[in-house]
Amino acid sequence: MVNFGKKLMADQVEEWKGYYINYKLMKKMLKQYVQQTQHGGKDREQVLKEFSRILDDQIERIVLFLLQQQGHLASRIEELGEKRSALEEYDISQVYQLHDAYREVGLDLIKLLRFVDVNATGIRKILKKFDKRFGYKFTDYYVTTRANHPYSQLQQVFKQVGIVAVVGALSRNLEYLQHHEGSFVSIYDRPAVTLKDPIIDQVNHAVQKLTHATNFMQFLGQHSLIVQEDAQSGSEDLVDDQSYHFMSLMLNLVNTFLYMVNTYIIVPTADDYAVSLGAAATVCGIIIGSMAVAQVFSSVYFSAWSNKSYFKPLVFSSIVLSLGNLLYALAFDLNSLSVLLIGRLLCGLGSARAVNRRYISDCVPLKMRLQASAGFVSASALGMACGPALAGFLQTKFKIYSITFNQSTLPGWVMCIAWLIYLLWLWFTFKEPEHFTKTLVNEHPSESGRQGNSNLEEGLAQPLLLGVEQRQDENSDDRSNHGSIE
């Protein structure tokens, strides 16, 4: 797939080259900001404000050029409209000349529509790249404040009200000329079938493509950032999709599978185990259900923990589950129902299913998320089926020293060993997601988050037209970088 930066250069109109979004410059600035924040040169709030001002400058240049070109097209259509009104009834040569002139306007209009399409895509991609690099929903703040501002320039890029008016005027005039009845000398000069002018179809197709590329504004205006990527996504987006770690995903699915096996492996023998400890057979319901009850509490702290790490909760889960199964197995020799129930409660407190689901939703690329979710469901169902089936193979009895191994205790021993093996596998192969490994996120605790967000909203809510003195330094750097990169 073609890199978007290269595709942008290839699709540029040569004489308009200086008015496109400077995508390379924006990527370069973004990389610099990441390095500066990691080394403590700038805080995140300062970066957000500076980056939003730079993007404002880029959009302003695009919008002013867009308005200028719309004005040129409108003037040309107006002049052609005056000629059409003065059109002599039988002068077929003037009709053809006007047709050709309108077609030239249509071709220029298509170029302008493509100009808007490319820039809208570039804005969307650079906003998405910022969010991924910083792990922060900057796009929500930027788009909503800019789109709802009374002096909104972003609306000019994504709503295209002026361009649609030009499209309507061009289409109407071409249709009028095409159906002009009195423009032919005789019936022999009249075509047998009057076809729709192809330039109208080309313009309408360009408008539809542009509308499809920018319809995500409706969602962003409601603080939603679920944007479907089009088929022409650049290779930089492909790299982002491949940045997740497949083995880490597999470890989460294995965790899901083992936990469900752990839940149901005791079902066939729980009543015998309860009887052997001097309790009624119906106590097996408490033994089985205690794990599910404890899981209610574990889902709370595991969900909160997964905001900071995925690796540590999984390690903790494996250790607690190993300990819980060990107590479950030792309860027979200790002749203690309390130890057995404590073991099952520990197993429930070690449930990391909330972490498994969170990992899939946060760290798996969108195009693979459906398969990963299906894998999560399949792993759960397979574990539910394999648990009782595995218990059927543990119908044996023997002793090693004073420790008893039988059909009641073997499920605990087997699962204890399984979780220890999983812990070793996890320790050496799991890779923490990239946005957790960056010190940028760790340097901003949640206590200061609300204050930072409040300051950010105040900064982004300022008018888009900044003071002349404030813009001069930024524009000088922008122009110098713009000239060197392009």
pLDDT at position 195 over 50: no
The mean-pLDDT minimum among 108-117, 184-193, 356-365 falls in: 184-193
- Written as one letter, the residue type at 68 is Q
**Mean pLDDT computed over 288-295:** 92
Give the model's pLDDT for residue 208. Answer: 63
Residue 143's alpha-carbon distances to 120, 154, 223, 246, in angstroms, are: 12, 8, 9, 33
Go through the chain and tell me how many residues it has. Answer: 486
Task: Please tell me which residue, 23 or 329, carries the higher pLDDT value.
Answer: 329
Q: For residue 93, name the pLDDT band (cuts at 50, 70, 90).
A: confident
Q: Where are the domains of the chain?
A: 4-234+446-485, 246-432
Q: For residue 423, name the pLDDT band (cuts at 50, 70, 90).
A: very high
The DSSP bridge partners found for residue 399 are 404
Burial 386-404 (b: 16+ CB within 10 A, else e): bbeebbeebeeeeeeeeeb
Mark residue 25 as left, alpha or beta (left: phi above 0; alpha: psi -120 to 50; beta: remaining). Answer: alpha
Rounded to whole angstroms, the Cα distance separating 394 from 273 reads: 14
pLDDT above 70: percentage of residues in the chain: 69
pLDDT at position 219 over 50: no
Residue whose token pair is 């946060």: 362
**Highest-pLDDT range among 203-207, 222-226, 355-359, 471-475:** 355-359
Task: Please tell me which residue, 64 or 421, carries the higher pLDDT value.
Answer: 421
Give the model's pLDDT for residue 203. Answer: 67
Task: Please tell me which residue, 141 or 363, carries the higher pLDDT value.
Answer: 363
**Mean pLDDT computed over 278-282:** 91
Give the model's pLDDT for residue 440. Answer: 38
**Mean pLDDT computed over 427-437:** 80
156-174 pLDDT, tens per residue? 666 555 667 777 777 777 7
CATH code of the domain made up of 246-432? 1.20.1250.20
Residue 245 backbone dihedrals phi, psi, to 5 degrees: -105, 115
Rounded to whole angstroms, the Cα distance separating 42 from 36 reads: 6
Give the model's pLDDT for residue 377. Answer: 93
310-325 pLDDT, tens per residue? 999 999 999 999 999 9
**Mean pLDDT computed over 264-290:** 92
Task: Please tell me which residue, 223 or 132, carries the higher pLDDT value.
Answer: 132
**Mean pLDDT computed over 448-468:** 42
Task: Please tell me which residue, 153 or 59, carries the higher pLDDT value.
Answer: 59
pLDDT at position 455 over 60: no
pLDDT at position 118 over 70: yes
Burial 199-215 (b: 16+ CB within 10 A, else e): bbebbeebbeebeebbe
Residue 38's alpha-carbon distances to 47, 260, 359, 419, 444, in angstroms, are: 12, 41, 25, 37, 12
pLDDT at position 465 over 50: no
Determine contact, residues 117/8, Cβ cutoff 8 Å.
Answer: no
The mean-pLDDT minimum among 15-24, 36-45, 329-338 falls in: 36-45
Task: Please tell me which residue, 300 or 190, carries the higher pLDDT value.
Answer: 300
Reported pTM: 0.47
69-82 pLDDT, tens per residue? 888 888 888 888 88
Rounded to whole angstroms, the Cα distance separating 73 from 60 reads: 20
